[in-house]
Amino acid sequence: MKQIPNIENIIIAHRGNHNEKIPENSLAAFKISLKENRPIELDIQLTKDNVLVVFHDYNLYRMTKENLFVQDLTYKEIQKFNLLDTNEKIPTFEEVLKLVKGQVLLDIEIKNTKRIDDTCNKLVELLKNYPNNYLVKSFNPLIVLWFKKNAQNIPRGLLITEKYTNNKLINILVKSKLIINYCQPDFLAISKKMLTQKKWQKYKEKMPILVWTINSRKEISYQEKNIGYICNIPFKN
């Protein structure tokens, strides 16, 4: 029987505990999260040779100054580059699992991709013998639906933001009850700007909700029920 980890009033480190000297989504950032016993949010995507790596952007430029795309590179090629001005490399998801070992909750965002089967199958394979202390989520309803059909034992969430594209119809559709019913998520992960809207207040009564991205303690309301917070740690103020 599937058990969804309790996310009520939990504070999750957005891409690990990162700052000016410690890059996001790095092993160094995750090690600090572990020391603080802090749940970790991270992003995964496939390299050209089907290695799951932990990296947020599709393009490497912001974090490495290399104008290249993860999906076009092999893992060996990616390892040539450092994260920002540090010695940290882009880690594999397998490296992160070996580091964390189920000690804290992993909030795993699956980046949008056309290689849904390859990505999700690889993820399920790596999680097969891992402690059941994780969630998966995605902006892509088809990825959420994949887990509904193929890995129902894994808690799955739908990421929702106030604006996806400049196409009004798409913005309405992806936030509609129709899409939520279609992919049947176990929880929702919504932008903090949407939390006060009546529509999402009603969903709190139906399923757990994660709110992203919180930048200060002032933005956290522990009076909310069924709410978890994805935060930039340490807080800016």
The per-residue pLDDT for 169 is 67
Q: What pairs with residue 7 in β-bridges?
A: none
Domain assignment of residue 105, yes or no: yes
Give the total number of structural domains in the chain: 1
Q: What value does the mean pLDDT take over residues 104-121?
A: 97
Domain ranges, residue 34: 11-231
Percent of the chain with pLDDT over 90: 79
Domain assignment of residue 236, yes or no: no
Rounded CA separation 97/188 (Å): 24
Pair 75, 53: CB distance under 8 Å: yes
Q: Is the pLDDT assigned to residue 181 strictly greater than 70?
A: yes
Give the residue numbers annotated as catalytic, written as ranges.
14, 56
The per-residue pLDDT for 204 is 86
Domain assignment of residue 21, yes or no: yes
Question: Which residue is associated with the tokens 């996001």?
Answer: 24
Domain assignment of residue 1, yes or no: no
Domain assignment of residue 3, yes or no: no
pTM for this entry: 0.95
Domain assignment of residue 2, yes or no: no
Rounded CA separation 61/83 (Å): 10
Domain assignment of residue 117, yes or no: yes
Question: Which residue is associated with the tokens 């202390």?
Answer: 133
Query: Domain of 218: which CATH number?
Result: 3.20.20.190
Domain assignment of residue 107, yes or no: yes
